[in-house]
Structure 1
Amino acid sequence: MASKQQPNIVMIMTDQQRWDTMGSYGNEIIETVNLDALAAEGTVFEHAYTPSPSCIPARASLLSGMDPWHTGILGMGAGQGPMETGFAHTLPGVLADAGYHTQGIGKMHFYPQRSLNGFHHTLLDESGRVEDRNFVSDYQAWFERNKTGPYEFVDHGIHWNSWMARPYHAPEYLHPTNWTVNESIAFIKRRDPRKPFFLKTSFARPHSPFDAPSVYFDLYDRKRMPDPFVGDWAHIHDKPEDAVSPVAWRGVRKPEEVRRARAGYYGLIHHIDHQIGRLIQCLEREGLYDNTMIVFLSDHGDMLGDHNLWRKTYGYEGSAHIPMIVRLPRSYGKAKGRVTEPVTIQDVMPTILDIAGLDIPETVDGRSMKGLMLDAEIADWREYVHGEHCACYSDEQEMHFLTDGKMKYMWFPRLGSEQLFDLQTDPGECRNLADRPEEQRRLQHWRRRLVDILAKRDAGLTDEAELVNQAGKPAIVSPYYKVRVSGAK
């Protein structure tokens, strides 16, 4: 059982925030004062990656500490199904069993949508998703009760997956970002005071719609926004027939449209940062800050026009590289400021349990990052991370990637093509080295690593010597999904 000395845990999660949109990660345009202050007190993980760059598979790995293959969710669509329940162990469930008061606020992306998955209670903002009959999110119901005119929460006219951007159409206090922090503060004040607590504050932004309140949108609309990276290979995604859609996943858009999208996106992050400041101030006023572990991360990023691509599901840096900051309770002393070892979302659950002094379930694939933060010698830390996604919008999107933060290897199973990038000299992934004769040895080295990972699945992705082209073959579906879901019913 938990003791009074065990730390409180606050997990702050953004949706679809790329790694390079914070001052602590080197961005000199965006203002993220509160997150940068948190980074100065804690540990910045420079090479944190999502195991699958889209919402459901990434969040399933966060919830369970398991790799996507073991959660059974390799993406969104293509036979993967919704998240469902049936996990043997979840982070909030283990904490609840140990005596923590657990609360989830904001975007959970569970199915059924009112599933708890170990939380004692949730308050939901599920954007526009209605997957259960008669479901109305807590945020939408609150919006309807508090709006000041005959408008709806979607009356800005922008689709949930659009590249389009405009200022928020309603008063700022009605924005879901404000609601998420309001409810988080309310929980802190009404929690069981005799128990340590686990609070997941999960924002639905900066995921589109790019609808920052005017004060934030206008600030970045006046600034010179960074131009997208466009690689020497990006012409493969210059598809006019795809670009015409307001929810286009690829295609060339006008420079002013790209700049406006980035202004809206940056404005959303600036807005979130201010609201995170409110949450931290609440912890300080309540006398909880010193004994609270704070974990900040995103589920994946957004391409924002890089290489003529939008949204996520890609192994490229804009989509797969995420921000991650961990601030330990004061009793641990000063942790290491920056960690360069490659880490992934599966590592968050074991890290939290380790800091809380709890056993890590055998089902967890991730590893505790506690030693990395406290500058301990970890001789056997992984050399690289693996990520993947099934075909979602197109066969061209099914991919596997490997990276150590210095090199990036990608394989597209249904195209039979590869990419290799030197992230140290080419952080924007603009030069594909895979076809260069002088890079063949390095290419083969990374390819062999992927063969070794995928051979263990016995799913036809390799013949144990080489990768096997999947063009025209049925979608790969993990057997663990059906086992877990059938066991949950």
Structure 2
Amino acid sequence: MQDNQPNILFFLTDQHRFDWLGSNPEVPVRTPNIERLEKQGVRFDNALCPAPLCAPSRACLASGYQYERAGVPHNAVDFPENQTTYYQLLRDEGNYHVMGCGKFDLHKSTPKWGTDGQRCLSEWGFSAGTDNAGKWDAVISGAEEPQDPYMAFLHRNGLAETHVADMRRRRDEGAFRATFPTPLPPEAYCDNWIAQKGLSLLSDAPSGSPWHLVVNFAGPHDPLDVTEEMHGWYRDPDVDFPEPTKAGDELTPDEHADARRNYAAMIENIDNWIGKYLEVLEERNERQETIVVFSSDHGEMLGDHGEWRKRSPYHPSVAIPLVIDDPRMRPQEPSDALVGLHDLFATFLQQANVSIPDDTDSRSLVDILRGKKESHRKHIRTALGNWEAVFDGRYKFVRGYDDLSQDTDGVLLDTLNGEKQDVSNTHPDIKQHLKEVCDSGRQL
């Protein structure tokens, strides 16, 4: 392996909000392995997704484009054929062995993954991997006959009927109200199954070539299914989490608390797997030549502002965790630079010594990792459907979101006070400036 072509191990979760990390003293979730990466690398505290929805956000990551240019406006549109991905560039120009497992979500409108999970992988740029459905898609498509490898695994082991019944119960009772444990054994729990797939890929990777592995965890996406052991992690004794900001009345306070305990357990389980991967890298004598990255495709409202899941411009929905540990570089203090998930496109290519396409919207973070600069962008944009937002590091201009503003004048939110009200009248100059940035149509 060449020194200028390190391995890349990328953990991408689904629906992990930015502030649910152990390094945040206000949220008692346990993530010691992610914290190890933070101390050895850089944690980015102002990272946003290009769009708070699975398929659009992952399309932006793969293509390096902003939301409007990536060609996937919502979950019912597949990743465009013949659109170049960074996976392809790593494989074809960098001679990387490119691997991936878990929920890719690049063809949600045609949910036929194949029971081997191979459909589209080669076209996207992978040398080896397994693409499986997300939690709900797997059950919807494969209750009777599996359409993806995870449900095929459950069918083979006589667990499909049990899992389908459990998921339907959660749907009927409410995905965030149903916090009871899954009847599945630990080895059949989806994130555990995905993690094992990734370890198998790593074990089978050819020697002598740089590799890239993305592990696309299904959690902490709803429903809040956890194993029997995980269910007790924040209940014996009960751990109290911050109450939602401007909570609605859909759930009682006790139900909110239980939902947050399960959400934390799902995150801790992923963190445990990160620790196991780091141990494997040490055993393979590859830790010092492997860049490790942790992030998520979007956040989770978790009851804030009376909302759940994602799709909204509020920070719990659009802000994401992002940690990059490159052992070749000295640790840096947490960065407040404005960055986007799609910036990993250019970052990975530069780290792999592969040319970055001229027309990309992605900007490499390598100079921040090296400590050569602190700022990255003056503003960062996120959008979905009819709404768009521009963020300057504290204030966020939003327009087109029905629950906030249906007119072109938009609203101004202050992230330091929980985005609780429109502060346009208090800061008219800031609002006007961000509105002009939004009006310009520039790719930020």
Q: If the length of structure 2 is used for normalisation, what is the TM-score?
A: 0.88
Give the Cα–Cα distance (whole angstroms) in 2 for the partners of residues 29 and 119 of structure 1. 37
Tell me what 2:196 maps to.
182
Amino acid at match of 1:383: K
2:51 corresponding residue in structure 1: 52
Do the aligned partners of 2:4 and 2:352 also contact (CA within 8 Å) in 1? no
Partner of 1:197: 211
**1:69 is matched with which residue?**
68
What amino acid is aligned across from residue 122 of structure 1 in structure 2?
Answer: G
Residue by residue, what CA displacement relative to the aligned partner does 1:302-346 show, whole Å, maximum 9, x if unpaired? Answer: 101000001101111110010000010x3x231323111100011
Aligned to 2:126: 119
Note if 1:383 corresponds to 2:381. no
SS at match of 2:281: helix
- 2 CA distance for matches of 1:401 and 1:217? 37
Q: Cα deviations across residues 362-387 of structure 1 (Å, max 9, x unaligned)?
A: 232110000011111377x3201001
Does the 8 Å CA contact 1:389/1:400 hold for their aligned counterparts?
A: yes
Q: Is the 8 A contact 1:144 1:152 kept in 2?
A: no
Q: Distance in 1 between matches of 2:307 and 2:125?
A: 36
Indicate if the aligned counterparts of 2:335 and 2:374 stay in contact, CA closer than 8 A: no
Which residue type is aligned with residue 34 of structure 1?
A: N
Aligned: 1:256 with 2:237? no
| 8 A contact 2:4–2:353 mirrored in 1 | no
Read off the aligned partner of 1:72 and give its amino acid letter.
G
Query: Could you tell me how far apart the structure 1 residues matched to 2:401 and 2:37 are?
Result: 40
* 2:137 pairs with one of 99, 107, 129: 129
Secondary structure in structure 1 of the residue aligned to 2:342: helix
Checking the alignment, whether the CA contact within 8 Å between 1:25 and 1:46 is kept in structure 2 is: no
Structure 1 unaligned blocks of 5 or more: 239-250, 391-397, 457-489
* Aligned pairs (5 A) from 1:286-305: 286-305=284-303
Distance 1:32 1:363 in 2: 37
Partner of 2:116: none
| Cα distance, 1:120 vs structure 2 | 1.7
Residue 92 of structure 1 corresponds to 87
**Of 412, 426, 441, which aligns to 1:420?**
412
Partner deviation per Cα, 1:177-206 (whole Å, 9 max, x = no partner) = 111111111111111112111101010110
Distance in 2 (alpha carbons) for counterparts of 1:333 and 1:297: 19
Aligned to 2:221: 207
Task: Give the Cα separation in 1 of the matches to 2:215 and 2:160.
Answer: 28
In the other structure, the counterpart of 2:154 is 143
* 1:469-480 alignment, distance < 5 Å: none
Alpha-carbon shift at residue 439 of structure 1 (Å): 2.2
Q: CA offset at residue 267 of structure 1?
A: 1.0
Aligned pair partner of 1:225 in 241, 246, 251: 241
> 1:408: which partner in 2?
396
Whether 2:330 is the aligned partner of 1:325: answer no
| Contact 1:162–1:208 (Cα < 8 Å) also in 2 | yes
- Please tell me the root mean square deviation across aligned C-alpha atoms, in Å: 2.4
Provide TM-score, normalisation by structure 1: 0.80
1:447 matched to 2:435? The reply is yes
Confirm or deny: 8 A CA contact 2:230 2:269 kept in the other structure. yes
Matched, 1:367 2:363: yes
Call closer, same or farther: CA 1:148–1:163 in 2, change over 3 Å: closer
- The 8 Å contact of residues 344 and 385 in structure 1, kept in 2 or not, is answered as yes
Q: Say whether the 8 Å CA contact 1:22–1:31 is kept in structure 2.
A: yes
| 1:225-264 C-alpha deviation (Å, 9 max, x unpaired) | 210001xxx8xxx6xxxxxxxxxxxx63222222221111
Aligned AA for 2:378? Answer: E
Give the AA of the match of 1:129: D
Aligned AA (1:430): K
Residue 163 (structure 1) shift? 2.2
1:154/1:358 CA distance change after superposition, 3 Å:
farther
Deviates more, 1:440-449 or 1:300-309: 440-449
Q: CA deviation at 1:38?
A: 1.3
Give the Cα separation in 2 of the matches to 1:132 and 1:213.
23
| Structure 2 unmatched runs, 5+ | 114-118
Match of 1:343 among 310, 316, 339: 339
Q: Check the 8 A contact 1:13/1:297 in 2, yes or no.
A: yes
How far, CA to CA, are the matches of 1:121 and 1:135 in structure 2?
21
Cα distance, 1:150 vs structure 2: 6.2
Q: Is residue 394–residue 414 contact of structure 2 (8 Å, CA) maintained in 1?
A: yes
CA contact (8 A) 1:11 1:200 kept: yes
Asked if structure 2 preserves the Cα contact closer than 8 Å seen for 1:315 and 1:410, the reply is yes
Deviation at 1:135, TM superposition (A): 5.9
- Superposition deviation, residue 28 in structure 1: 4.2
Change (3 A) 1:135 1:350: farther
Structure 1: which 4+ aligned runs deviate by more than 3 Å? 2-5, 25-28, 130-135, 146-150
Describe the shift of the 1:367–1:25 C-alpha distance in structure 2 as closer, same or farther (beyond 3 A).
farther
Tell me the equivalent position of 1:466: none
CA apart distance, 1:23 = 1.4
- Give aligned pairs, total: 418
Deviation at 1:404, TM superposition (A): 2.2
When residues 104 and 153 of structure 1 are mapped into structure 2, their CA distance, relative to the original with a 3 A threshold, is farther
1:421 to partner: Cα distance: 2.1
> What CA distance in whole angstroms lies between the structure 2 residues aligned with 1:266 and 1:227?
14
By how many angstroms is 1:147 displaced?
A: 5.0
CA deviation profile, 1:60-82 (whole Å, cap 9, x unmatched) = 011111111111223335xxx23
Give 1:155's match in structure 2, choosing from 153, 158, 166. Answer: 166
Contact 1:124 1:139 survives alignment (8 Å) = no
- C-alpha separation in 1, matches of 2:428 and 2:61: 35
Percent identity, aligned pairs only, is 27
